[in-house]
């Protein structure tokens, strides 16, 4: 299968290892990955902040990048950005009266999958350890991000994939379905409430005894990880793509500060 | 007295207690500092939340019921004028009197006038959101009429000279020791040895209320539903105090928002399944009272209904926001909202707090009214409210819609653009081209430099300071994914792995 990768802007600029891990997983399954070079961002930040007019060129760019490329399906390592592509893009195009953009956006949205959705529903991955060689000998807890859970209805796809990684020790997160408090510009506009929500999320993570918190959205993980870091916790966050890509021979870096080539992972 | 004013031709915005007097972030900051409030709220919302989930999961057709509720409400909004006229006919035919009120001021004047006609100076009240919305109690007090709340929680709030903070559990922000202290301080003839046991507290309230029920000649109520085909009004409650008010006095005055209408008696079957399970987490509420006009020799002989617009037409005129009027005031959205759970209801200013309040209040008052333009931003858009809503109001989508109405309403009116405006503009330029984003990403090593040896950014200026008040930002990677992809001279080998040295980049 020819799979187009939508890296998402935050992963492209801040967490390239997550996109590389996504490529690795797909190639390991024997698929060809293409990266439409015109892509940038889904425009969700603009839409969710009320800047619809400013969102239009961002959305039009995404649609143009993905409806000219030849591929079978598109994938992004993010529930939130995929939900934006599927739901917000046609909605914004409609509200600005661009019927042509709406039609094209709907078509792109229909071919776009969140990573776990693609792996489970389309590529038939049920056992990451056996099918991907995933190996990750750490105690891990998992935060299901709101948009994956409620807009895409991912259910337990991400959790099941993580649970099937060889060597992993999954620790259940109390109140897992509660929002971490990120919410895009909400985290700045309503910083106090956002911080209060984050405090409860990190406190719950700390009760699990996990050495890291996994998830499917880099933005939420940056938020949670940023809070843990500020609170002086040793617990880090890691995208599930990197856990799935991790193998015995080539383990994922847990802290980000240790060069894999030295073989001296701290945990 | 029948003051027919008709539906206004242009939207008339709501007045009364629908306005935030300070911005949500400011109010939230204060409320978050109240540890007692947060503890009470956390406990109470989680208890109701769990009860709701338990009773909702019992019904195999819950999703179909939600669909039915949503469809009925949608059809009501589509033919509201016609249904209101039908209701006016059926209600009047059974001896009731209809009054039309454009806004809070008109509604208050109508109610006060009706009470004055009876010669009474005291009324008992059934818990009602509409009368709180219009500030009826305060208005009546100015007119020399004392209104006594008979719902236990409303009574607590009224005795404490406080404001309700939740539409179903108005005193959710108070625990039982606080309630005891209020009773001891404010309740006439209360046992000075009163303890904080719930049964003792309820006993004290019962004795206090019984005196009012037996003497009151006038009652004021709200209504949960009005049935157009029969002219029937309905009140759904738990305590039975509402039924006392509906049956004992001689005059009954009901104030109801125009959106409460249902076309037929049969539609009630859907809502009587949706409402109790969503609000109190019960299969059925203890008391459901229905009345149709006047029954000679039984119950109130003077039956009035004030049909209230107060911004509902304005909300109805907003194509993308109008489904907020489907709300049946169950409060499920606030019980599951992570923002409400932490700030409580007072932070929202309006009578309607929580997620539904964050859309309903600005829809009814107009987005530019006082601080109501801050309400649509009081959400992380987690979507828990939409999932819980029994009539499927897509609250997150309406929040986003109202944010865009707010942003658009300010375009071209500001002398200096805000930091947010500037940022969004720049981001729109940068993020609408892969080339431009790629070029900017060449600057990532600068961010690495700024992060310093700790590899984290702990302080940012301007609006971004909101982020760094409780969160670090990791040092950016030395190379973007886009750059890496471009530089890889890839031959399509299925097992091709990136160079190990690249794997040192930050993890989220």
Instruction: For residue B467, give the chain A residue with the closest CA.
Output: A188
User: What is the average pLDDT score of chain A?
Assistant: 94
Distance CA B147, CA B132 (A): 12
Across the interface, which of A46, A177, A193 has its CB nearest the CB of B343? A193
Q: What is the pLDDT of residue B40?
A: 87
Q: Which of residues 8-47 of B touch A (CB under 8 A)?
A: 24-25, 28-29, 32
Within-domain flag for B336: no
B-chain CB neighbours of A3 within 8 Å are none
pLDDT at B432 over 70: yes
Mean per-residue pLDDT over chain B, rounded? 92
Q: What is the pLDDT of residue B396?
A: 98
Domain assignment present for residue B490? The answer is: yes
pLDDT of residue B495: 47
**What's the whole-number mean pLDDT along residues B357-367?**
97
B474 vs A260: CB contact, 8 Å cut-off?
no
Average pLDDT over residues B284-296: 95
- Any chain A CB within 8 A of the CB of B207? no
Average pLDDT on B355-374 reads: 94
The CA distance from B154 to the nearest CA of chain A, in Å, is: 27
- Alpha-carbon distance of A22 to A165, in angstroms, equals 15
pLDDT of residue A263: 33
Rounded to an integer, the average pLDDT of B300-309 is 98
Residue B59 has pLDDT above 90, yes or no: yes
Percent residues over pLDDT 70 in chain A: 95
Dihedral sign from CA coordinates of B340, B346, B350, B351 = positive
Distance CA A226, CA B464 (A): 14
Average pLDDT of the segment spanning B412-433: 92
B303 with B426, same domain: the answer is no
The answer to whether the Cβ–Cβ distance between B481 and A27 falls below 8 Å is no
Q: What is the dihedral of CA A225, A230, A235, A241, to 10 degrees?
A: 10
Candidates A42, A192, A222, A241, partner chain B, best to mutate (most B CBs within 10 A): A192
> What tokens appear for B415 in the block?
């002398």
Report if residue B199 sits inside a domain: yes
B217 and B86 inside one domain: yes
Asked whether the beta carbons of residue B466 and residue A191 sit closer than 8 angstroms, the reply is: yes
Statement: residue B137 has pLDDT above 70: yes
Task: Report helix, strand or coil for B101.
Answer: strand
Residues A138-161, mean pLDDT to the nearest whole number: 97
CA dist A256 and B198 (Å) reads: 55
Q: Is residue B393 part of a domain?
A: no
Same domain assignment for residues B88 and B220? yes
Does the residue B367 lie in any domain? no
- Residue B53 · residue B384 · CB < 8 Å: no
Q: Does B450 touch chain A (CB under 8 A)?
A: no
Which residues of chain B neighbour A218 with C-beta distances below 8 Å? 508
**What gap in Å lies between CA A142 and CA A224, rounded to an integer?**
11
At B311 the three-state DSSP class reads coil
Measure in Å the smallest separation between the Cα of A12 and chain B Cα atoms: 5
* pLDDT tens-digit readout, B458-489: 999 888 999 999 999 999 999 999 999 999 85
Q: pLDDT value at position A257?
A: 40
What residues of A are in contact with residue B345 (Cβ under 8 Å)? none
If asked whether residues B294 and B437 sit together in one domain, one would say: no
Instruction: Calculate how close chain B gets to A225, using CA atoms only, in Å.
Output: 7
Which pLDDT value is given to residue A181?
Answer: 98
CATH of the domain at B262: 3.40.50.10420
- What is the band of B11 on the pLDDT scale with cuts at 50, 70, 90? low
pLDDT tier at A260 (50, 70, 90 boundaries)?
very low
Confidence bin at B504 (pLDDT 50/70/90):
very low
Of A16, A188, A222, the CB nearest to B481: A16
The residue assigned the tokens 């967490």 is A15
Q: pLDDT class for A267, splitting at 50, 70, 90?
A: very low
CA separation (Å) from B504 to A16, A222, A261, B116, B340? 10, 17, 9, 79, 40
- Quick one: how far is CA A84 from the chain centroid? 13
pLDDT confidence tier of residue B501, bands split at 50, 70 and 90: very low
B67 domain-assigned: no
Note whether residue B479 is domain-resident. Answer: yes
Would you state the pLDDT for residue B9?
A: 53
Domain annotation covers residue B240? yes
Residue B492, pLDDT > 80, answer no
B106 and B254 belong to one structural domain: yes
The tokens of B32 are what? 């978050």
Two tokens, residue A151? 């807009």
CB atoms < 10 A from the CB of B244, how many? 21
Which percentage of chain B shows pLDDT scores above 70? 94
Cβ contact B469–A191 (<8 Å): yes
What tokens appear for A261 in the block?
Answer: 């080539």
Distance CA A112, CA A91 (A): 16
Per-residue pLDDT band at B350 (split at 50, 70, 90): very high
How many structural domains does chain B have? Answer: 2
Boundary (domain end) residue, out of B313, B339, B370: B313
Set of chain B residues whose Cβ sits within 8 Å of the Cβ of A256: 455, 474, 504-507
Closest CA–CA distance from residue A203 to any residue of chain B (Å)? 14
The string of pLDDT tens digits covering residues A78-134 is 999 999 999 999 999 999 999 999 999 999 999 999 999 999 999 999 999 999 999
- Residue B115 CA to residue B130 CA, distance in Å, equals 17
Beta-carbon-side half-sphere exposure of residue B160 (alpha carbons within 13 Å) = 20
pLDDT digits (tens, 9 = 90+) for B75-94: 999 999 999 999 999 999 99
Q: What is the sign of the dihedral through the CA atoms of B403, B408, B409 and B414?
A: positive
The DSSP 8-state label assigned to residue B488 in this structure reads -
* Alpha-carbon distance A16 to nearest alpha carbon in chain B (angstroms): 4
- B contact residues 476-495, partner A, Cβ 8 Å cutoff: 476-477, 479-482, 484-486, 492, 494-495
Cα–Cα nearest to B343, from A49, A181, A174? A181
Non-local (6+) Cβ contacts of B422 within 8 A are: none
- Cβ contact, residue pair A197, B436, below 8 Å: no
Query: What does the pLDDT look like over A11-67, one tens digit per residue?
Result: 999 999 999 999 999 999 999 999 999 999 999 999 999 999 999 999 999 999 999
Structure tokens given for B417: 């653009």
The pairing of strands B225-227 and B232-237 is: antiparallel
Residue B173 Cα, gap to closest chain A Cα (Å): 17
Q: What is the rounded CA–CA span in Å between residue B176 and residue B194?
A: 11
pLDDT in the model for residue B332: 97
The residue among B289, B313, B337 that closes a domain is B313
Q: N- to C-terminal Cα distance for chain B?
A: 68
Residues B324-344, mean pLDDT to the nearest whole number: 96
In the predicted model, is pLDDT for residue B182 greater than 50?
A: yes
- Spatial contact of A18 and B508, defined as CB atoms under 8 Å apart: yes
| CA B436 vs CA A34, A172, B231: distances in Å | 20, 42, 64
Same domain, B298 and B427: no
Q: Cβ separation of A61 and B433 shorter than 8 Å? A: yes
Contacts of B480 in chain A (CB under 8 A): 12-13, 16
How near does any CA of chain B get to the CA of A213, in Å?
10
Cα Dmax for chain A: 56
Answer for the pair A202, A223: CB distance below 8 angstroms, yes or no.
no
Are residues B114 and B240 part of one domain? yes
Helix (H, G, I), strand (E, B) or coil at A188: helix
Q: Do B380 and A146 touch (CB under 8 A)?
A: yes
Query: How many whole angstroms separate alpha carbon A213 and alpha carbon A202?
Result: 10
Is pLDDT of B269 > 60?
yes
User: CA-to-CA distance for B508 and A216, rounded, in angstroms?
Assistant: 10
**Mutate which: A9, A17, A140, A267, vs B, most B CBs within 10 A:** A17
**What was the pLDDT predicted at B499?**
43
pLDDT band for position B28 (50/70/90)?
very high
In sequence order, what are the beta bridge partners of B100? B307
Q: What is the DSSP string of B218-234?
A: EEEE--SEEETTTTEEE
Q: Which of B481, B486, B495 to mutate to test the interface with A (most CBs of A within 10 A)?
A: B481
Distance from CA of B241 to the nearest CA of A (A): 36
Cβ A197–B400 below 8 Å, yes or no? no
A260/B470 CB distance under 8 A:
no
Asked if residue B431 and residue B309 are part of one domain, the reply reads: no
Instruction: Specify the pLDDT at position B370.
Output: 79
Structural domain boundaries enclosing B478: 419-506
Q: Which of B260, B294, B313 is the last residue of a domain?
A: B313
- Averaged pLDDT for residues B431-438: 95
Asked whether the beta carbons of B204 and B191 are under 8 A apart, the reply is yes
- Between B380, B472, B501, which is nearest A194 by CB? B380
One domain, residues B159 and B276: yes
* Cβ <8 Å between A46 and B427: yes
Residue B388: predicted pLDDT = 98
The verdict on a CB contact (< 8 Å) between B467 and A226 is yes
The nearest CA of chain A is from the CA of B506 a distance in Å of: 5
Instruction: Specify whether B298 is located in the same domain as B426.
Output: no
With CA atoms as reference, the chain A residue closest to B506 would be: A256
Residue B175: predicted pLDDT: 87
Please, which pLDDT band fits residue B165 given cuts at 50, 70 and 90? confident
């Amino acid at each position: 299968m020819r799979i187009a990768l939508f890296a998402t802007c935050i992963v492209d600029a801040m967490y390239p290892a997550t996109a590389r891990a996504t490529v690795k997983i797909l190639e390991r399954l024997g698929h060809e990955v293409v990266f439409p070079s015109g892509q940038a961002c889904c425009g969700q930040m603009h839409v969710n902040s009320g800047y619809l007019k400013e969102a239009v060129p961002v959305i039009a760019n995404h649609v143009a990048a993905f409806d000219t490329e030849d591929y079978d399906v598109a994938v992004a390592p993010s529930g939130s950005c995929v939900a934006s592509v599927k739901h917000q893009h046609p909605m914004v195009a409609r509200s600005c009266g661009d019927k042509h953009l709406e039609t094209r956006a709907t078509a792109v949205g229909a071919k776009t999958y969140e990573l776990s959705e693609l792996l489970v529903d389309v590529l038939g991955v049920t056992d990451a350890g056996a099918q991907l060689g995933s190996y990750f000998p750490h105690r891990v807890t998992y935060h299901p991000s709101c948009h994956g859970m409620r807009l895409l209805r991912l259910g337990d796809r991400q959790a099941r994939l993580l649970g099937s990684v060889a060597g992993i020790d999954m620790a259940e997160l109390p109140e897992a379905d509660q929002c971490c408090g990120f919410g895009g510009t909400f985290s700045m506009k309503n910083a106090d409430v956002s911080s209060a929500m984050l405090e409860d999320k990190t406190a719950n993570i700390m009760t699990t005894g996990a050495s890291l918190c996994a998830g499917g959205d880099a933005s939420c993980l940056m938020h949670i990880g940023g809070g843990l870091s500020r609170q002086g916790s040793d617990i880090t966050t890691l995208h599930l793509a990197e856990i799935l890509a991790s193998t015995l021979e080539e383990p994922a870096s847990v802290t980000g500060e240790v060069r894999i080539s030295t073989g001296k992972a701290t945990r | 007295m029948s003051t027919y004013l008709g539906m206004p031709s242009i939207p008339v915005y709501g007045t009364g207690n629908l306005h935030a007097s300070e911005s949500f972030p400011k109010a939230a900051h204060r409320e978050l500092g109240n540890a007692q409030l947060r503890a009470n709220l956390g406990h109470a919302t989680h208890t109701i939340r769990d009860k709701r989930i338990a009773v909702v999961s019992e019904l195999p057709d819950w999703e179909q019921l939600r669909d039915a509720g949503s469809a009925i409400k949608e059809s009501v909004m589509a033919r509201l004028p016609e249904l209101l006229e039908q209701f006016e006919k059926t209600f009047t035919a059974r001896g009731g009197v209809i009054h039309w009120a454009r806004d809070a001021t008109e509604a208050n004047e109508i109610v006060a006038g009706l009470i004055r006609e009876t010669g009474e100076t005291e009324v008992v009240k059934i818990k009602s959101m509409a009368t709180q919305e219009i500030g009826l109690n305060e208005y009546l007090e100015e007119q020399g009429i004392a209104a006594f709340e008979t719902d236990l929680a409303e009574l607590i709030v009224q005795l404490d000279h406080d404001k309700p903070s939740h539409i179903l559990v108005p005193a959710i922000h108070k625990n039982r020791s606080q309630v005891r202290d209020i009773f001891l301080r404010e309740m006439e003839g209360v046992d000075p040895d009163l303890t904080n046991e719930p049964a003792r507290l309820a006993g004290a309230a019962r004795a206090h209320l019984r005196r009012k029920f037996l003497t009151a000649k006038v009652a004021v109520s709200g209504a949960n539903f009005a049935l157009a085909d029969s002219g029937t009004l309905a009140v759904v409650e738990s305590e039975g105090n509402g039924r006392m008010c509906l049956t004992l006095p001689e005059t009954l005055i009901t104030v109801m928002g125009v959106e409460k209408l249902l076309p037929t008696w049969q539609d009630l079957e859907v809502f009587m399944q949706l409402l109790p399970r969503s609000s109190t987490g019960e299969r059925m509420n203890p008391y459901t009272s229905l009345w149709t006009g006047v029954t000679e020799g039984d119950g109130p002989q003077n039956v009035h209904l004030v049909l209230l617009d107060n911004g509902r037409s304005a909300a109805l005129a907003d194509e993308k926001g109008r489904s907020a009027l489907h709300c049946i005031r169950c409060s499920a959205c606030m019980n599951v909202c992570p923002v409400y759970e932490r700030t409580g209801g007072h932070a929202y200013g309006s009578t309607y707090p929580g997620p539904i309040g964050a859309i309903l209040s600005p829809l009814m008052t107009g987005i530019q009214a006082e601080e109501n333009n801050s309400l649509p931003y009081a959400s992380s858009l987690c979507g828990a409210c939409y999932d819980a809503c029994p009539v499927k109001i897509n609250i997150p989508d309406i929040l986003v819609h109202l944010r865009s109405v707010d942003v658009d309403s300010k375009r071209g009116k500001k002398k200096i653009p805000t930091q947010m405006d500037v940022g969004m503009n720049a981001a729109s330029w940068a993020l609408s081209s892969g080339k431009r984003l790629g070029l900017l990403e060449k600057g990532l090593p600068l961010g690495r430099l700024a992060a310093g040896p700790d590899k984290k950014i702990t302080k940012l200026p301007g609006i971004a300071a909101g982020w760094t008040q409780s969160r670090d930002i990791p040092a950016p990677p030395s190379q973007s994914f886009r750059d890496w992809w471009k530089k890889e001279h890839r031959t399509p080998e299925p097992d091709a792995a990136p160079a190990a040295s690249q794997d040192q980049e930050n993890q989220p």
